């Protein structure tokens, strides 16, 4: 296959040379006698030049013939599969379909190539929201254990968390069975409205204690807007589809560290305020307070 | 409604307007935007002799809670705060036979109101019966409701634009209530505390 393509390339190249040299012959003939042929014996010089050019053309022609002779003829007519039927289309506006088909084939080929590359790069990134495995039996198992759990399991999880932190009071409501929405009040500092999807945290909004429990409206205070953003980051960080209970617990553990939101100074700069905001970031492992700019 | 700290700013031979202007410049330089004006006033009534033991009622209004009249009754042993509708003013007028107002003690603090981040800053010129007495700076940190949690943070903010005149301890009224939930009546108590100091102090030049 590789050799065939090489030979085809060399044959095409020799045809190209032949064409350009034939063009030179016609150019020279159409120009006729030129000033650079001089005065003495100009006809002879012209004929000589023409002969030289024709010799080159002859040589090129021989090259082409030998290159073509080297080519192996295809074993039979190309098998286009079902696409061959497109050529039999008689309606005017559908005759261009074959070209479009080839184009789209090229596109899908490119998409395949790029997605394979992207897949390789993304595999090294651990922030996966969905768990992907190539073993179908395994996938089915994890999906049932995540999204489609019985309400009692979630209920147990919530009561466990409630017991784990004495200063977090949790009230749960179930607007969409079986997925609960819980309000977690952290001491007298803030409250978070957390929506679950099965055993996974789907959405978090942090607000002041006096604000409404609406899941979709953000807080009117800058500090709680910032904390909401950070909670989203932590939610993705702790997310683990294989161990959803652990993910929720570590998230709540991290979230619990916000009980010092207003009272703890930044670990890095030692100040309370930076840009009129207290340290709104908590380190994911050490739970130490940092400003957005100091972390 | 968040935790509010009220403190005096020494005028140090400056006039009232120039002090306010100085503070306005500083807070604007930090990025604060002016959001209108504010006014807190206080009128004091004393019971007439016929009612026996003398009682004092302070009636205060705060432009932050425009539909509410705050009143604080001092009986000598107890202090009873009360938050009521605007009609309370008319009630006091009806009771003028029993409670008479001391006109020369009407105190008020008014001036520009600024917002910066989650903070609300009010620079008030204090007058007692139309005479200039000093400058009060009110800083409110709105997301927080427990004074003990955010006092250090607020002190840092106050130091940011008032400099060294910020005391190391919270206002005396707040010191006993650091762990309690902060409510608007606590702001009123702080204003009354400051107004009482201004009323006793000798008059300053305007």
Per-residue pLDDT 10s for chain B (206 aa) are: 789 999 999 888 888 899 999 999 999 999 999 999 999 999 999 888 877 888 899 999 999 999 999 999 998 888 999 999 999 999 988 888 888 887 778 899 999 999 999 999 999 999 988 889 899 999 999 999 999 999 999 999 999 888 888 888 888 889 888 999 999 999 999 999 999 998 887 655 44
Residues B79 and B163 in one domain: no
Please say if the pLDDT value at position A46 is more than 80: yes
Q: CB-based contact (8 Å) between A277 and chain B? A: yes
Indicate the pLDDT class of residue A281, thresholds 50, 70 and 90: very high
> Using CB atoms within 10 A of its CB, is residue B31 exposed (0-12), middle (13-18) or buried (19+)?
exposed
Q: In DSSP terms, which residues pair with A274 in a beta bridge? A: A277
- What distance in Å separates the CA atoms of residue A18 and residue A20, rounded to the nearest whole number? 6
Asked whether the beta carbons of A66 and A60 are under 8 A apart, the reply is no
ipTM of the complex: 0.86
Inter-chain touch A262–B116, beta carbons under 8 Å: no
- CB atoms near residue A261 (< 10 Å): 25
* Structure-block tokens of residue B118: 């989650």
Please say if the pLDDT value at position A136 is more than 50: no
Which of B105, B125, B157 is the C-terminal boundary of a domain?
A: B105
Q: In DSSP terms, which residues pair with A117 in a beta bridge? A: none
Q: What pLDDT score was predicted for residue B204?
A: 53
Inter-chain touch A262–B144, beta carbons under 8 Å: yes
Residues B123 and B158 in one domain: yes
For residue B25, the surrounding DSSP H or E stretch is helix B16-29
Residue B30 lies in a domain: yes
Q: What pLDDT score was predicted for residue B125?
A: 94
Please measure the distance between the N-terminal and C-terminal CA atoms of chain B and give it in whole angstroms: 33
Residue B204 lies in a domain: no
Residues B33 and B135 in one domain: yes
Q: Which residues contact A51 (CB under 8 A, 6 or more apart)?
A: none
Q: Closest partner residue to B149 among A263, A265, A273, by Cβ? A: A263
Residues B61 and B158 in one domain: no
Domain residue limits at B15: 3-39+106-199
* Look-up of token digits 């006091």: B92
Q: What pLDDT score was predicted for residue A92?
A: 77
Q: pLDDT tens digits for A192-234?
A: 999 988 888 889 999 998 888 888 899 999 999 999 999 999 9
Residues B157 and B55 in one domain: no
Residue B206 lies in a domain: no
Residues B24 and B81 in one domain: no
* Residues of chain A positioned with their CB less than 8 A from the CB of B117: 222-223, 275-277
Question: What is the widest separation between alpha-carbon atoms in chain A?
Answer: 115
Q: Which residues contact A168 (CB under 8 A, 6 or more apart)?
A: A161, A162, A184, A185, A186, A187, A252, A256
| Share above pLDDT 90 across residues of chain A, in percent, rounded to a whole number | 40
Q: What pLDDT score was predicted for residue B205?
A: 46
Residue B27 lies in a domain: yes
Residues B132 and B193 in one domain: yes
* Look-up of token digits 């006014």: B39
Q: In 3-state terms, what secondary structure has residue B9?
A: strand
Residues B87 and B169 in one domain: no
Report the CATH number at residue B113. Answer: 3.30.310.180
Q: In 3-state terms, what secondary structure has residue B61?
A: strand
Work out the average pLDDT over A271-277. 90
Q: Closest partner residue to A222 among B30, B117, B150, by Cβ? A: B117
Residues B94 and B179 in one domain: no
Where is mean pLDDT largest: A126-135, A146-155, A175-184, B140-149?
Answer: B140-149
The single-letter DSSP state of residue A277 is B
Work out the average pLDDT over A53-73. 90
Q: Closest partner residue to A271 among B117, B118, B156, by Cβ? A: B156
- CB atoms near residue B48 (< 10 Å): 13
Indicate the pLDDT class of residue A145, thresholds 50, 70 and 90: low
Inter-chain touch A210–B1, beta carbons under 8 Å: yes
Phi and psi for A190 in degrees, rounded to 5? -160, 175
Inter-chain touch A189–B149, beta carbons under 8 Å: yes
Indicate the pLDDT class of residue A13, thresholds 50, 70 and 90: very high
Q: What angle (nearest 5°) sits at the alpha carbon of residue B58, between those of residues B43 and B37?
A: 55
CA-CA-CA-CA torsion for A25, A26, A30, A33, nearest 10 degrees? Answer: 0
Please say if the pLDDT value at position A53 is more than 60: yes
Which of B105, B130, B150 is the C-terminal boundary of a domain?
A: B105
Number of H helices, E strands in chain B: 5, 9
Q: pLDDT tens digits for A88-109?
A: 777 777 777 888 888 999 999 9
Q: When comparing pLDDT for A253 and A127, which is higher? A: A253
* Residues of chain A positioned with their CB less than 8 A from the CB of B33: none
Residues B147 and B87 in one domain: no
Residue B178 lies in a domain: yes
- What distance in Å separates the CA atoms of residue A154 and residue A196, rounded to the nearest whole number? 9
Residues B112 and B184 in one domain: yes
Q: In DSSP terms, which residues pair with B134 in a beta bridge? A: B126
Q: What pLDDT score was predicted for residue B206?
A: 44
Q: What pLDDT score was predicted for residue A123?
A: 79
> Using CB atoms within 10 A of its CB, is residue A192 exposed (0-12), middle (13-18) or buried (19+)?
buried
- What distance in Å separates the CA atoms of residue A60 and residue A54, rounded to the nearest whole number? 10
**Residue B53: half-sphere exposure toward Cβ, Cα within 13 Å:** 6
* Distance to chain A for B185, nearest Cα, Å: 17
Please say if the pLDDT value at position A140 is more than 80: no
Q: CB-based contact (8 Å) between A22 and chain B? A: no
Q: What pLDDT score was predicted for residue A127?
A: 58
Q: What pLDDT score was predicted for residue A143?
A: 45
Which of B86, B105, B124 is the C-terminal boundary of a domain?
A: B105
User: From chain B, which residues contact A within 8 Å (Cβ)?
Assistant: 1, 30-31, 116-119, 141-146, 148-150, 152-153, 156-157, 160, 181
Please say if the pLDDT value at position A155 is more than 60: yes
* Look-up of token digits 């696409």: A83
* Distance to chain B for A221, nearest Cα, Å: 6
Residues B143 and B52 in one domain: no
Work out the average pLDDT over A24-39. 84
Q: What pLDDT score was predicted for residue A142?
A: 46
**What mean pLDDT is reported for chain A?**
85
- What distance in Å separates the CA atoms of residue A92 and residue A155, rounded to the nearest whole number? 66
**What mean pLDDT is reported for chain B?**
89
Asked whether the beta carbons of B9 and B24 are under 8 A apart, the reply is no
Residue B187 lies in a domain: yes
Q: What pLDDT score was predicted for residue B130?
A: 87
Distances in whole angstroms, Cα of residue A37 to Cα of each of A23, A46, A47, A55, A167: 20, 7, 11, 20, 106
Indicate the pLDDT class of residue A126, thresholds 50, 70 and 90: low
What's the gap between Cα A7 and its chain centre?
Answer: 39
Which runs of E-coded beta strand occur in chain A?
A: 168-176, 179-186, 190-197, 200-207, 281-282, 289-290
Selected residue of A185, A186, A188 to mutate for chain B interface (largest B Cβ count, 10 A): A188
* Distance to chain B for A239, nearest Cα, Å: 29
* Structure-block tokens of residue B19: 């002090």
Residue B205 lies in a domain: no
* Residues of chain B positioned with their CB less than 8 A from the CB of A275: 117
* Look-up of token digits 């509708």: B85
Number of domains in chain B: 2
Work out the average pLDDT over A154-179. 84
């Amino acid at each position: 296959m590789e050799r065939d393509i090489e030979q085809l390339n060399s044959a095409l190249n020799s045809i190209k040379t032949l064409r350009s040299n034939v063009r030179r012959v016609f150019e020279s003939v159409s120009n006729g006698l030129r000033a650079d042929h001089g005065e003495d014996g100009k006809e002879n010089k012209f004929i000589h030049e023409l002969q030289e050019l024709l010799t080159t053309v002859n040589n090129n022609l021989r090259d082409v013939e030998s290159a073509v002779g080297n080519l192996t003829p295809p074993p039979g007519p190309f098998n286009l599969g079902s696409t061959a039927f497109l050529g039999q289309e008689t309606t005017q506006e559908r005759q261009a379909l074959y070209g479009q088909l080839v184009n789209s084939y090229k596109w899908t080929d490119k998409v395949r190539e790029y997605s394979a590359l992207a897949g390789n790069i993304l595999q090294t990134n651990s922030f996966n929201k969905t768990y992907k495995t190539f073993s179908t039996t395994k996938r089915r198992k994890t999906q049932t254990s995540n999204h489609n759990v019985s309400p009692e399991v979630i209920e147990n999880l919530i009561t466990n968390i409630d017991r784990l932190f004495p200063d977090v009071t949790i009230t749960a409501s179930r607007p969409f069975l079986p997925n609960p929405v819980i309000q977690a009040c952290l001491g007298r500092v803030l409250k978070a409205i957390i929506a679950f999807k099965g055993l996974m945290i789907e959405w978090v909004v942090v607000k002041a204690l006096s604000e409404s429990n609406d899941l979709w409206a953000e807080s009117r205070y800058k500090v709680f807007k910032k904390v909401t953003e950070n909670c989203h980051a932590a939610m993705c960080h702790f997310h683990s589809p294989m161990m959803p209970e652990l993910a929720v617990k570590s998230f709540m553990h991290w979230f619990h560290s916000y009980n010092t939101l207003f009272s703890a100074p930044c670990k890095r700069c030692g100040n309370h305020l930076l840009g009129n905001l207290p340290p709104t970031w908590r380190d994911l492992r050490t739970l130490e307070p940092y400003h957005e700019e100091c972390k | 409604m968040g935790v509010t700290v009220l403190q005096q700013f020494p005028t140090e031979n400056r006039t009232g307007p120039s002090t306010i202007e100085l503070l306005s410049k500083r807070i604007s330089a930090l990025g604060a935007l002016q959001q209108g004006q504010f006014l807190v006033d206080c009128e004091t009534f004393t019971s007439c002799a016929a009612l026996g033991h003398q009682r004092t009622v302070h009636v205060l209004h705060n432009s932050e809670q425009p539909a509410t009249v705050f009143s604080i009754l001092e009986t000598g042993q107890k202090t009873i705060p009360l938050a009521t509708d605007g009609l309370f003013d008319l009630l006091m007028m009806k009771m003028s036979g029993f409670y008479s107002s001391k006109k020369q003690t009407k105190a008020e603090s008014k001036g520009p109101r600024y917002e910066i981040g989650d903070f609300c800053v009010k620079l008030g010129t204090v007058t007692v019966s139309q005479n200039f007495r000093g400058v009060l700076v009110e800083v409110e940190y709105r997301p927080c409701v427990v004074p003990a949690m955010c006092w250090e943070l607020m002190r840092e903010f106050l130091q940011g634009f008032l400099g060294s005149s910020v005391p190391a301890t919270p206002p005396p009224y707040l010191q006993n209530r650091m762990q309690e939930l902060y409510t608007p009546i606590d702001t009123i108590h702080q204003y009354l505390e400051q107004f009482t100091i201004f009323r006793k102090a000798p008059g300053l030049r305007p």
